[in-house]
Amino acid sequence: MSPASALFIGAVALAPAALPAWRLSDAAKGSFREIWNASVAERRERVGCIGGVITRDTVYVVRTRLLTEGEGDSLTASAEQSLAECAAPEWMGTVHTHVRSTDSDDPAPRFSPGDRTVMSAWATRNGRAGAFCVLYSPKGAHCEVWPPRVEPRVIRPESP
C-alpha cells in the first residue's frame, strides 16, 4: 500500500442523503389547495403550519393550519408569525405560496434566499430539521427537509 493510500483509509466524507419522499394525507392535500386558493384570490403570499412526521426516508404531512393574515405582501409574508405559531413539537414546519402581485403572473417554483433564512431560523429555534413547502400552482409544490441531512460515508482508496 502506498503512503498516499494509507492517508485515505478510514477517511469519512459527508454526502447529502437521498431526498425523502413526501406523502400528504387527503386532509393535507385539501388544505394545500385552500392555502393556494386564498393566496391567488388575495394576490399575496399565504403561510400555514404543517404537522406530521419526518422519518429517515419519508415526510408524512397529515395536517395543516392556515395562519391568519399577518403583515406582509406577495414577496414578504411575515416570518415572525410563522416562526412563533408553527413551532415544534406541534408542527414540523411551514408551507407558503409564491404568488406574485406586481412583477409577474408566473409563480416562483423554488425557495427564495429569504425563505431559506426563515427555514434556517425555524430549525435553529426548534433544535431540529423542519419540513418546508412552497406552493407555486394549484397542484405544484416544491418541498424540502431543512437543513438537508448529511450522512457519513467512508472513502475507500483506489487500488494501486
Task: Note the pTM of the prediction, 2 decimals.
Answer: 0.77
What is the percent of the chain with per-residue pLDDT over 70, rounded to a whole number? 71
Average pLDDT, the chain: 80
Q: Establish if 159 belongs to a structural domain.
A: no
Whichever domain contains 149, its CATH number is 3.40.140.10
Residue 111, classed as helix, strand or coil, is coil
Q: Establish if 91 belongs to a structural domain.
A: yes
Q: Categorize the per-residue pLDDT at 156 as very low, low, confident or very high, splitting at 50, 70 and 90.
A: low
Bin 52: left if φ > 0, else alpha if -120 < ψ < 50, else beta.
Answer: left
pLDDT over 70 (residue 18): no
pLDDT over 60 (residue 11): no
Q: Establish if 145 belongs to a structural domain.
A: yes
Are 98 and 138 a contacting pair, CB within 8 Å? no
Compute the distance between CA of residue 66 and CA of residue 68 in angstroms, rounded to an integer. 6
pLDDT tens digits, residue range 25-69?
999 999 999 999 998 888 888 999 999 999 989 999 999 999 986
For residue 10, the enclosing domain spans 3-154
Number of domains the chain contains: 1
Q: Categorize the per-residue pLDDT at 10 as very low, low, confident or very high, splitting at 50, 70 and 90.
A: very low
Q: Which helix (H) or strand (E) holds 40?
A: helix 26-42
